[in-house]
């Protein structure tokens, strides 16, 4: 299942599907468009609907965080998949991810 992103409510994005190399470019475009259209500030990304991830998912999250921080914003991740948190830990970037 291809990954999708949509504005769930103000400053809150929901993701669903498989985040992988095949879906990365489209998903990145969708999320960046939402972030640019609705401005900086505090955002959440809910990953409860994500079915599978690989390393590209971590790369995308870090990229979105960097983009928001450049505009004095921040990102909190909700329902981050365990395998993605494990990958972040192995890569030494888990301390940069704000989750709940």
* Residue 16 belongs to domain with CATH number: 3.30.750.24
- What is the spatial distance between Cα 72 and Cα 41, in angstroms, rounded to a whole number? 7
pLDDT for res 99: 94
Domain carrying residue 92: 4-99
pLDDT for res 24: 97
pLDDT for res 54: 96
pLDDT for res 1: 80
The answer to whether 70 and 34 have CB atoms below 8 angstroms apart is no
Digit-by-digit pLDDT tens for the chain (100 residues) are 899 999 999 999 999 999 999 999 999 999 999 999 998 899 999 999 999 999 999 999 999 999 999 999 999 999 999 999 999 999 999 999 999 8
Domain count, the chain: 1
Instruction: Decide: pTM greater than 0.85.
Output: yes
Torsion of CA 94, 69, 43, 65, to 10 degrees: -40
């Amino acid at each position: 299942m291809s990954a999708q992103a949509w504005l769930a409510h103000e400053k809150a994005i929901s993701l669903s599907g498989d985040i992988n190399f095949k879906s990365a470019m489209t998903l990145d475009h969708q999320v960046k468009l939402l972030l640019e259209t609705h401005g900086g500030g505090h955002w959440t990304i809910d990953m409860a609907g994500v079915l599978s991830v690989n390393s590209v998912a971590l790369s995308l999250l870090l990229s979105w965080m960097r983009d928001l921080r450049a505009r004095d914003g921040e990102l909190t991740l909700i329902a981050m998949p365990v395998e993605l948190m494990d990958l972040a830990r192995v890569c030494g970037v888990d301390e940069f991810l704000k989750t709940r």
